[in-house]
Chains A and B, each alone.
Chain A
Amino acid sequence: MRRTIAISKRIFLELIRDKRTLAMLFLAPVLILTLLNYVFSINTSTNVNIGVVNVQRSMKSTINDVKHVNIKEYDNKKEAKKALDNQKVDAIFEENQHDDYSVLYANTSASKTAMIRRILSASFTQEKTFQMADTLKQMTEKLGMNSDNKNTTNDVNLKESYNYGNKNTTYFSSIMPIFMGFFVFLFVFLISGMSLLKERTSGTLGRLLATPVKRSEIVFGYILSYSLVAIIQTTIIVFFTIYVLNVQVTGLILNVFIINLLLALVALTFGLLLSTLANSEFQMMQFIPIIVVPQIIFSGIIPLDSMATWAQWIGNILPMKYASNAMTDVILYGKSFANILPELLMLIIFIVVLLVANIFGLRRYRKV
């Protein structure tokens, strides 16, 4: 126990003196979260320009009434095409003959294409309704009935309320829980892995193993110090997102800490184990695309249930998935400790397996 504490003290001391790594651990997440928050909270509405050729007036005005849409008139298709090529318009809408339309999408932005498609089909429906209403009106007039000029629509009242957040809640809020866990995973994985790697390449591991220290004492020393790192990091991230970015945490903050701590231990034991496969810090970085990126892809940013079965299975063996699920449950849905217990247990299984693998793996450097 004394050795474990001495090792963790030493690792912590080394970390505190390494200003760049400290910044990486504690400032980088804050910076990235701020950027993400900014990017996702700016006005997300896009404006589209539709070039129209030969379209009758009523249809044109219907389209023009839609928000974020500009109509540009062209005399013929050729001119309109030129405008499209010069990115002046995002689509060309043309009436070939009565009730026969054609549209050419620039289709360089999927969201714009989707938006135009929606606008056009809505406009068609509206046009038809108007026409029908007109016919109806004419018919009633012919029949000599009184048509009521008064606005007959009752005031419909819709009261909106939000289960989570408020009307300013953006996409950022829904991915934020995932990112809170992800940063802990990424930075603890890299820095702990590099720390053991450096200890190995500098020879201090060999020297350490030439003392009566137990292999498990080394691994637990790492665990102790990086648990502390994870707690500090989580504190910073949690308080920053709650008080500066105004993200609401519905559940208990303590649960957020528990999840992040367990995830950090997975990242730590994973980092330590993989560092034995690397011979330089650069090789350690190479694990980012093959180990870290899949974690974020399958973490729930893209809904997992829409994926193929094989892809869902990959997700099942990645620790980030369980942490993200638990994190989302706590932050967005206010779930209790009991509700996230299955996910926490999965994380604990990951930790135990990796822990044993590490203690065993150190045998490579000393036979006892």
Chain B
Amino acid sequence: MQTVISVEKVSKSFGNQQVLKNIDMLLKKGEIIGLIGPSGSGKSTLINIALGVERADSGLTTIFGQKMPNRMLLGKLGYMAQSDALYESLTAKENIRFFAEMKGVDKKLLTPEITRVAKIVSLENYLDKRVSGFSGGMKRRLSLAIALISDPGLLILDEPTVGSDPALRLQIWQELHRMRDEGHAILVTTHVMDEAELVDRVALLLGGELIANDSPQNLESQYHVDSIEKVFLKAEGELK
């Protein structure tokens, strides 16, 4: 299948702290990769390098076969940062519209597109409310809605479900699975190990290296445990 993200031998240090060591990773069309790892292990850094926001010390990243950083490619992916980067004094609708215009969504399609993404995250009734009046979970969902604008072939989501209740979380994952089945490629990071069971492949980032990169079932049998949570703990324990 077609490769969407390819990370080859990427290394990155901040000062004398080496965060990523020779990382190789592939993401294919119609696949969800769950990037997990302890806090500070470099998940967000890896994403930023893939996006071209951060520069790698060495190595190569390509998205849709083109070398990053590349400005035009940014229009073909949806990115949701770890922090809710939203314009607080604007309404939800104004936020979505603004980013849709940045992505170059056709003027005529703006309104239906706003409604479409708002529905996915159940915010259609709050579109005219200012973001400053949103709860943490609502902001997170709005952030996700913005990433979904123009139905991009690649989604990069940094902890998309933080602050969402179980019902909503289920809804979001159903949507992600639906998109995957349509052929989208999705890269998510998460600290919720239950969610890691829902992905096609788990990439475990530990000590600057990708320790594992396989389906949840394969990893569980490989580590002789019954959940990704235990895989995580066992792998972290072995490293020490």
The chain A residues found within 8 Å of chain B, CB to CB, are 2-3, 6, 10, 13-14, 17-18, 202-214, 365-368
Contact = CB atoms under 8 A, between A and B. Distances in A.
Given A366-B53, A366-B69, A368-B52, A204 B103 contact: no
Contacts of A207: 79, 81, 85, 99, 146
Nearest to B47: A210
A204 B87 contact: yes
Contacts, number: 76
7 contacts: A13-B90, A18-B89, A210-B53, A210-B81, A211-B74, A366-B52, A368-B52
Contacts of B88: 202
Given A203-B81, A207-B85, A367-B69, A213 B102 contact: yes
Contacts of B72: 212
Contact of A206 (B55, B81, B98): B81
Contact of A212 (B71, B83, B89): B71
B54 to A, nearest CB: 8
B51 interface: yes
**Chain B interface secondary structure, helix, strand, loop or mixed?**
loop
Contact of A210 (B51, B70, B94): B51
Contact of B53 (A14, A206, A213): A206
Contacts of B55: 367
Closest 8 CB pairs of A and B: A203-B85, A211-B102, A6-B101, A212-B75, A207-B85, A204-B85, A368-B69, A210-B79
A211 B52 contact: no
A24 to B, nearest CB: 16
Contact of B75 (A6, A14, A208, A211): A211
Interface of B: 51-53, 55, 69-75, 79, 81, 83-90, 94, 98-99, 101-104, 146
Contact of B90 (A14, A211, A365): A14
Contacts of A13: 89-90, 94
Q: Tell me which of A14, A211, A365 has the highest count of chain B C-beta atoms within 10 A of its own C-beta.
A: A211
Q: Tell me which of A2, A10, A207, A208 has the highest count of chain B C-beta atoms within 10 A of its own C-beta.
A: A207
Nearest to B53: A366
A212 B81 contact: no
Given A13-B94, A206-B53, A365-B53, A212 B104 contact: yes
Contacts of B98: 6, 10
A17 B72 CA distance: 33
A13 B53 CA distance: 27
Contacts of A208: 102
Nearest to A205: B85
Contacts of A367: 52-53, 55, 69
A18 B83 CA distance: 23
A161 B55 CA distance: 70
Contacts of B69: 366-368
A79 B99 CA distance: 81
B237 to A, nearest CB: 34
